[in-house]
Amino acid sequence: MKGISYLGTWVRNWYSIFVNELRLIFSDSGVMVIFFVGGLLYPVLYNLIYMNGTVDEMDVAVVDNSGGAYSRRFIRKVDATRECNILIYCASMEEAKALMQKGTVHGIIYVPGDFDSRLVRGEQGVISTYADMSSFLYYKCLTMGTNLTMLDEMHQIQLERYTASGMDAQAAWQAVQPVLSDESLPYNKPFSYTIFFISAALLLVIQQTMFYGESLLAGTLREQNRSFASMPGKLQGLGIGRVLLGRGAAYFSIYMVTGTLIALLIPWIFSLPQRGEWTDIMVLLVFFVVDCIFFTFTWSSLITRRETVFVLFLSVSPICLFLTGFSWPQTSIPEFWRYVSYFFPSTFGCRAFINLNTAGGSLALIAPEIRAMTIQTAVYYVLSSVSVFIENKVIENKEKIDRLKDKALELRGIDPDEARKVIAGK
Amino acid sequence: MTGKFVKVLRREFLIILKRPVYILSSVGVLIVNAAFYTTFMKDGLPHDLPIGVVDLDNSSTSRMFARELDATQLGKTVWYDDIHLAREHMETGKITSYIVIPEGFNSDVQSFRQPHIGYYVNSLYFVGGALAYKDILTMVNLTNGAVQREVMRLKGMNEREIMGKIQPIVLDQHQIGNPAVNYGVYLNGVLLPGILEMIVILITIYAVGSELKYGTSKHLLKTAGDSMVTALVGKLVPYNIIFTVLGITLEMLLFQWLKYPVKGSIFWMFLDILLLVSASEAMGLFIVELFPVLRLAISVGAIISVLGFSLAGFSLPVEAMPPYVQGFSAIFPLRHYYLFHVQETIWGSGFAGWWKEAVHLLLFLFLPFTLIGRLGHAYKYQDYERN
């Protein structure tokens, strides 16, 4: 009998906490803005900014001191690549460099005077390239454009030379390329910035908006001395489970909706690759959202005032993004930071999403990430229980602590009454 | 007047002392970020990227090919018996790419039957993918060169002739401003000042907006003798000192201690960061004047400072963005800092190169004056909602 009535109370408490949390969320415009506007606005904005994704037809200047058939053919071929556009022929390097400094061109191709005569003699011709390093994409464009041209031109000249030395065309072709290669870049053929950036950022938006929004709410409640952690004395701190699960259910129900929009609708609207099964992505979302909830509960216990979460933790977002290994490769991340990355759900969630959605993997493939998120969830659940317990104790002994704080101020030579006038919230 | 000013200053220092959030979110946040980004990319360029090798031939030639790929600075080979496993590992990002050496590779090469090497690159992981792609492409061409050289040596050609035949065109590549192609130099040089911009905007909004939220603005005005200018200047001077010290230290860290290349003078970079700090402060102040409600202002400040990173145009260049986005880049101080930075560190242009950007950054300083009355009204009457 006792067991049943305990269960009944538990469910009733849980339900009232759940409803109360939903009411708190929906009556706070700041939290609503972060959850719904922020959560959906950021993906849309980033898609607009990175709409094109690649730098094509980057403007390049040419200084051609040779002016022969070979150099002209080389330049024409560079012009024909997707990466480069020959904007202008300059008379001197000085002129070309001045254009690059002004930002008119982002690369220079310099052909020395002896280029053609050397090639005609059967020797090596040298072409110099100068890349504007103010952005890595400029460097990539010039490197790709000139290297691909160089390879193509190299094969053509080789063919000419071999046939000139008496080989027939077939034999020459076989001699030029004894080994052929087939490339396959299955997931992001054009090295598009959009595909690579947005795939990594989408799930991070879920984690970060949840963290900022929930912290905003928790900070507000703490400012107004009505923290969720203040539990009725008769429970003696035993109600932690239903507090956490009740509040968690509120965030879960909201984030399964926005999360679905972010992970499924946004890629569809902007025609990003969606190679995974939507059911698999939903499974990933469930694990990820639950993980984020307890991650948020744990870390937001550091937030005592409404707005401080932004001031303190906004710069964590780009750090989390780099820790997913989306740009700087996972295998090159220093050991220390690899351990730090294990603190964040995004490290596993974003990787799993990239592998599942964009590379088209299956659930079995992301099993290690799912496992990691499950462990994280368990650890953060325990930690957030501990933090609620401690906060409850702090609230119970609030007067004592306040007196200690005043004493500390007096020791530093500050009058607590004067401080109260200037510093708010007391 | 000066007496009042000093009183406001003392009042502000008291706040900074009493509330750890100000020091934590300026000095603390910058230290954490600087430590993160400079150690995260300390190698400059990644090396030993895992490249899978599925060797179906198992001949001396195929093994040599894989060994040489392993010996490149960029690559490190991982052996697979089975294509499916290699593909799975590439899909999950465990390896950047894999190559498949077909059966009969060795005999096909020897008899000029032109075997195909297949390579598969996961370009979702951008930097690793692009570098592995480049590494494999180079190795395939070197292999072709090596085979040709053997043939020509047997025919009795001399080395000079051989090089002319194997590689008739050589590319001599220069990278202006970052000769070592150091990813850290490129990224941290703009990213860390961007973090500073974020810090400045947020703290300015928080400091000025808190007076409204906690209803202490009347006390502030009384201390300042009812002068809005005295109140704001006195309030912001302490932060200005903190931000200036942070900015100079940051530039010292990048260009002096980490020895990032700077063609011009580091002193002009000091000017650049000071202009960035002032412009961001003006921006923060303008936002809180426009929205004299702390939580709204801080949300707007957060959105603006996060977007600043993308719209500065150092990752994806601004000209590659859609036209209707390009214009917006001008409203972010970081954009002008970046253009100034390019002129000074890459070109060493001095005043002639970056004066326009300096003027743009100075223009931000006029922003707060346009709405100072609005904030003054809010300070005096506290008639906006607080939460």
Interface contact B298-A307, CB threshold 8 A: yes
Half-sphere exposure of B287 (CA within 13 A, CB side): 28
**Contacts (Cβ under 8 Å, ≥6 apart) of B302:** A310, A314, B202
Strand partners, A184: B120
pLDDT for A375 equals 97
Phi, psi of A34 (to 5 degrees): -70, -45
> Could you report the average pLDDT of every consecutive run of 10 residues in chain B (387 residues)?
86 88 93 94 86 92 89 90 91 90 90 90 86 87 85 82 84 90 90 96 94 89 89 93 96 93 93 96 95 88 90 90 90 95 92 94 94 90 77
Interface contact A199-B124, CB threshold 8 A: yes
* Chain B contact present for A306, CB below 8 A: yes
CA proximity to B253, closest of B40, B44, B35, B43: B35
* Chain B contact present for A278, CB below 8 A: no
* Cα gap A385→A393, rounded to integer Å: 13
Max Cα distance, chain B (Å): 97
Output A3 or B383, whichever has higher pLDDT.
B383
* Cα gap A215→A213, rounded to integer Å: 5
Cα dihedral B150, B156, B159, B160, rounded to 10, equals: -130
Q: Report H helices in chain B.
A: 2-18, 21-23, 29-40, 60-71, 83-91, 105-110, 126-155, 159-166, 183-213, 217-223, 228-251, 266-290, 294-311, 323-326, 333-341, 351-363, 367-370, 372-381
Interface contact B178-A127, CB threshold 8 A: no
pLDDT for A226 equals 75
DSSP 8-state code for residue B102: P
Interface contact A332-B174, CB threshold 8 A: no
Mean pLDDT lowest for which of A223-237, A365-379, B218-232, B270-284?
A: A223-237
pLDDT at A330 over 90: no
Provide the token pair at B31: 């230290």
Residue A259: band (very low, low, confident or very high) from pLDDT cuts 50, 70, 90? very high
Q: Which strand (E) or helix (H) includes residue B99?
A: strand B97-101
pLDDT at A418 over 50: yes
Interface contact A317-B306, CB threshold 8 A: yes
Judge whether B159 and B127 are in contact, CB under 8 Å.
no
**Looking at beta carbons, which residues of chain B come within 8 Å of A187?**
122-124
| Residue A80 CB coordination number (10 Å) | 13
ipTM value > 0.95: no
* Cα gap A127→A122, rounded to integer Å: 16
Provide the token pair at A157: 């000249």
**Contacts (Cβ under 8 Å, ≥6 apart) of B46:** A328, A329, A331, A332, B74, B127, B128, B131, B183
Where b means 16+ CB within 10 Å and e means fewer, A157-186 reads bbbebbeeeebeeeebbebbbbbebeeebb
Output A388 or A344, whichever has higher pLDDT.
A344
Mutate to test the interface with A, among B23, B78, B92, B149 (most CBs of A within 10 A): B92
In order, the DSSP letters of A64-103 are: ESS-SHHHHHHHHHHHHSSSEEEEEE-SSHHHHHHHHHHT
Closest CA of chain A from B195, distance in Å? 7
**Looking at beta carbons, which residues of chain B come within 8 Å of A163?**
none
pLDDT for A425 equals 46
Q: What is the CA radius of gyration of chain B?
A: 29
* Chain A contact present for B77, CB below 8 A: no
DSSP 8-state code for residue B322: -
Closest CA of chain A from B369, distance in Å? 24
Judge residue B327's burial from the number of C-beta atoms within 10 Å of its C-beta, 0-12 exposed, 13-18 middle, 19 or more buried.
Answer: exposed
Nearest to A187 among B124, B127, B137 (CB): B124
* Cα gap A122→A283, rounded to integer Å: 63
pLDDT at A426 over 70: no
pLDDT for B209 equals 92
**Looking at beta carbons, which residues of chain A come within 8 Å of B144?**
176-179
Interface contact B128-A331, CB threshold 8 A: yes
CA B160 to chain centre: 45
**pTM, 2 dp:** 0.91
Nearest to A128 among B25, B174, B294 (CB): B174
Terminal Cα distance for chain A, rounded: 47
**Looking at beta carbons, which residues of chain A come within 8 Å of B214?**
423-425
Q: Strand pairing of B169-176 and A125-132?
A: parallel
Q: Strand pairing of B75-80 and B49-55?
A: parallel
Residue A421: band (very low, low, confident or very high) from pLDDT cuts 50, 70, 90? low
A237: left (phi over 0), alpha (psi -120 to 50) or beta: left
* Chain B contact present for A330, CB below 8 A: yes
Interface contact A319-B147, CB threshold 8 A: no
Amino acid at A283: V
CA proximity to B208, closest of B180, B240, B185: B240
DSSP 8-state code for residue B25: I
CA dist A59 → A1, A40, A108, B142 (Å): 81, 35, 9, 30
CA dist A413 → A407, A408, B8, B17, B269 (Å): 10, 9, 18, 12, 40
* Cα gap B248→A3, rounded to integer Å: 66
* Cα gap A196→B109, rounded to integer Å: 37
**Looking at beta carbons, which residues of chain B come within 8 Å of A125?**
168-170
Total beta-carbon pairs less than 8 A apart between chain A and chain B: 359
Nearest to A52 among B119, B166, B320 (CB): B320
Sheet holding B97-101, edge to edge: A180-184, B116-121, B97-101, B49-55, B75-80
pLDDT at A7 over 60: yes
Judge whether A326 and A354 are in contact, CB under 8 Å.
yes
**Looking at beta carbons, which residues of chain A come within 8 Å of B210?**
307, 424
Cα dihedral A207, A213, A217, A223, rounded to 10, equals: 100
Interface contact B165-A52, CB threshold 8 A: no
Judge whether B26 and B203 are in contact, CB under 8 Å.
yes
